[in-house]
Amino acid sequence: MAKESERLEFRLGSFGAFLPLITLLGGIVALVATGWVHTRTLWFPCLGAMLVAIVLAKKPAAVSEAILGGMAQRMVAIMAMAWILASIMGRLLRATGLVDSLVWLGVNLGIGGGLLPLATFIIAALFSTATGTSGGSIAAIGPLMLPVGVGLGASPLIMIGSLMSGAFFGDNIAPISDTTIASAYTQGAEIKDVVQSRLKYAFVAAAFAAAMFIIFGLLTKSGAGTAAELAKQVSPKGLIMLIVPAVLIFLMFRRVHLITALMLSNAFGIILGLATGLLTWKGVLFADPSAGKFGGVLYSGINGMLPIIMFTMLLLGLVGVFDKAGLFDRILNRVSPLTKSVRNAELSVFVLTIIGNIITAGSARSIVAFGPIAKQIGDRHNLAPKRNANIMDALATGTIMFVPYNPGVMLALGIAISTGIVSENFNIVTAMPYFFHGMGLFVVMLIAILTGWGREFVKPGSTVTEGVAGGSV
């Protein structure tokens, strides 16, 4: 958070500091309400909020520097490269016929689309738990499972929901996840303690999600005849391209950097596609500048992600302004009077984490931003550090998938578009009713707070937790 000497000052006081955030959220709500929400339209609330911040700032140049500082974060570069490379892989696997060949295999093995959402949820959950990354899991699992599931008759909406749910399952419990690390260290807790104590919440939410994916997967399946017709028209030759996602998964399990793993896997996939005749050089990259025609998996993969990258840069530029404006400290000052009881203190952490998700569009960023505030609130009531860490992580990972401008959601949207299961005008909000694991985490943690399930305390001045389940409210 910004130091007092560096803090941006606004006309109209606190209201002026909050007005850019109000402008951003109001613009996004308007887009959602009109059905206009899209990576290409989300730019405009960001630009509007930036304009409001510059107009109201006592030092407009300082706001501009804060915007540029936010946009220049290393995180932006990592996400941009990951999105581009994941999109290229999605286009590559489709262009080389792997998706069609897997549909052929599914039809011949008698596998229907009804259980594909459950399978996708489990595969993504296992992968994300092993690798600790929701974005990496979406990038690795999405290009393959989304089109195959839809090709076999599963609903595109529920397939997106199962991918998102599985990806964020591991983000919540993996010891190497950025949210696990952030939630533990901001609260002064041990990672092994927070992981062990949060399993009960995660597994209850996962059981609910699995049951819902079975029910809705079977209720929404369709297109079995279409899959059978497709299977008659394609051959299994494209199955050799399964080696490409296998290489990616192997590299990520070996803790190879996500960008390195995606780059090497894509290069290997292009070489394999050319060598087997499944891909032509024109399919890799085609350009006719005089006619204004461009194509190939490289061009389409990069071009399809540019709107998402531009939006993310604008959004994180705003987050830089919010940080320099001391927005998080201002929120703490308003919340403090409401935290007199233990239950209210935990509910405050619950709500603050959701607010952090909305402001920062990132679960780990939300935890880092509001972690010091949550620790102050928890310490007032001698709450065990792992308790606060579990509340923050469950809410951060559970609700971030319902923030339509979150990078993970944008990545899933980009992959869904690049693999052809939805059109470019698809509204990702329509898939959110199927984000069952996020719903489960929200409800489970709310019940835990209201009933005291899993609540523990520390003795004043001690760092050793006492096993006091429930506790006073």
DSSP for 303-372, written as a single string: HHHHHHHHHHHHHHHHHHHHHHTTHHHHHHHHHGGG-SSHHHHHHHHHHHHHHHHHHHS-HHHHHHHHHH
What the block records as the tokens of 100 is 């069609």
**331 in a structural domain:** yes
**190 in a structural domain:** yes
Q: What value does the CA radius of gyration of the chain take, rounded to a whole number of Å?
A: 23
| Euclidean distance between CA atoms 443 and 243, whole angstroms | 40
**pLDDT of amino acid 272:** 95
The dihedrals phi and psi of 106, each to the nearest 5 degrees, come to: -60, -45
**pLDDT of amino acid 258:** 75
By residue count, the chain amounts to: 473
Q: Are residues 62 and 112 in contact, defined by beta-carbon separation less than 8 angstroms?
A: no
**pLDDT of amino acid 356:** 82
Q: Which residues pair with 458 in a beta bridge?
A: 465
Tens digit of pLDDT at every position of the chain (473 positions) = 555 557 899 998 888 888 998 998 888 888 877 877 666 787 898 899 999 999 999 999 999 999 999 888 886 787 688 778 877 887 888 788 876 777 677 667 766 778 889 988 988 888 888 767 788 788 878 888 898 888 888 999 999 999 999 999 988 988 878 788 888 888 888 888 888 899 999 999 999 999 999 999 999 877 555 555 655 666 688 889 888 888 887 887 787 887 888 899 999 999 999 999 999 999 999 888 888 888 999 998 888 778 778 877 887 788 889 888 887 677 777 777 777 789 999 998 998 899 888 877 788 878 877 787 888 888 888 999 999 999 999 999 999 999 988 888 988 998 899 888 998 888 888 999 999 999 999 999 999 999 999 999 987 655 444 333 333 33
**pLDDT of amino acid 231:** 58
H or E, element range at 232: helix 224-233
Q: Which residues pair with 383 in a beta bridge?
A: 457
The pTM for the full model equals 0.73
Averaged pLDDT score across all residues of the chain: 84
Instruction: Give the structural domain span for 357.
Output: 4-466
**472 in a structural domain:** no
What confidence tens digit (pLDDT) does each residue in 399-448 have? 999 998 888 898 899 889 988 899 888 888 899 999 999 999 999 999 99
**pLDDT of amino acid 466:** 38
Angle between helices 342-360 and 363-380 (to 10 degrees): 160
**337 in a structural domain:** yes
The dihedrals phi and psi of 16, each to the nearest 5 degrees, come to: -65, -35
Q: Which residues pair with 465 in a beta bridge?
A: 458
For residue 186, the tally of other CB atoms under 10 A from its CB is 21
What the block records as the tokens of 107 is 């039809």
**pLDDT of amino acid 471:** 37
What confidence tens digit (pLDDT) does each residue in 232-245 have? 666 688 889 888 88
Q: Are residues 172 and 360 in contact, defined by beta-carbon separation less than 8 angstroms?
A: no
DSSP for 28-87, written as a single string: HHHHHHHT--STTTTHHHHHHHHHHHHHHBSSHHHHHHHHHHHHT-HHHHHHHHHHHHHH
What confidence tens digit (pLDDT) does each residue in 443-473 have? 999 999 999 999 999 876 554 443 333 333 3
Q: Are residues 266 and 274 in contact, defined by beta-carbon separation less than 8 angstroms?
A: no
**pLDDT of amino acid 418:** 84
**pLDDT of amino acid 461:** 57
**253 in a structural domain:** yes
**57 in a structural domain:** yes
What confidence tens digit (pLDDT) does each residue in 105-136 have? 766 776 677 888 998 898 888 888 876 778 87
Question: Looking at the 3D structure of the chain, how many domains does it have?
Answer: 1
| Euclidean distance between CA atoms 149 and 114, whole angstroms | 9
Helix (H/G/I), strand (E/B), else coil: 374: helix
**pLDDT of amino acid 169:** 94
Q: Are residues 397 and 363 in contact, defined by beta-carbon separation less than 8 angstroms?
A: yes
**373 in a structural domain:** yes
**473 in a structural domain:** no
Burial of 224 (0-12, 13-18, 19+ CB in 10 A): middle
For residue 317, the tally of other CB atoms under 10 A from its CB is 25
Q: What is the rounded (10 degree) CA torsion for 155, 159, 165, 170?
A: 160
Angle between helices 385-399 and 191-220 (to 10 degrees): 30
Q: What percent of the chain has pLDDT over 70?
A: 90
